[in-house]
Each structure stands twice: as structure tokens, then as C-alpha cells.
Amino acid sequence: MTLAKIVYASMTGNTEEIADIVAEAFENLDLEVEIDECTQVEAEDFEDADICVVATYTYGEGDLPDEIMDFYEDLQELDLSGKIFGVCGSGDSFYDQYCKSVDDFDAAFLKTGASRGADSVKVEMAAEEEDIENLEAFAKKIVEAAS
């Protein structure tokens, strides 16, 4: 069975909810899913997965959250060739660097040799109905890329 691993960072709960939406979409597509908060896992755990997803928020003026920095740095050292990845997350368009952490993780995954399964999904604060539909389509596209 295809294993999708989702790692998230969430301060307010918005990004955890985004990760849960993606996890449910994967489960509905008959995937085995592991979902973990970023401080509870190591980047190397992605080596055991077929599909690797990071859901992160962007802090302040485009900064990665402190709690996911080590994970981010370790991720870039991995060889994830043959894996499919996706990145999603939340941000506040009040800031110039809207959802920059999503872009940072997308670039980090590309350094690992993994293949992007779907374009990143950026959510303004909390997921609304349209965002949920976009996240479900994101999950479906990643699964299609992995098969």
C-alpha cells in the first residue's frame, strides 16, 4: 500500500487543519497515511514514505517557523529520488512574503531529487470551502503522480 507521510507545523491550528484535510483526502483515495507534528519526527522519516507532504505556516515577514527549522535544514541533506512531494500551508496576505515558507519547502524538496506531485496550495489563514476543494484536488493530483 502506498504510504503518504505528512509533517506539519502549526501555531494557531490552521495548518494542522490543512494537514488533516490532506490526510483525509489521501485516506479517501485508499492510501496509508502518517501525520506528525514537525517536532515529533525526523526528516529521514520521509525515506520510508512514497509520498512526502509538508504543511507549514509562514511566520511574520516570510520566516520559517522556529519549530520546523531543524527539519527544513535536515530535509535538504536527504536523497528522496523516486519520491513524490507536495507542500501546502497557511499565511496572512497582510505580509509582503505571503506563504513564503511553502515556497521554501518546495525548493528544499527539489534539492532532494523528489518530484513535485502537484503545485503548492496556499491558504489565507484558515481553510474555507474553496481551500478544502483545492487541498482535496492537490491530494488527488499527488496520488496520480505517484501511481
Among 72, 59, 57, residue whose Cα is nearest residue 17: 57
Q: What share of the chain is helix, strand, coil (3-state, %, to 5)?
A: 45, 25, 35
CA 18 – CA 88 distance, rounded (Å) = 8
Question: Is the pTM value of this prediction over 0.75?
Answer: yes
Split at pLDDT 50, 70, 90, the class of 1 is: confident
Split at pLDDT 50, 70, 90, the class of 60 is: confident
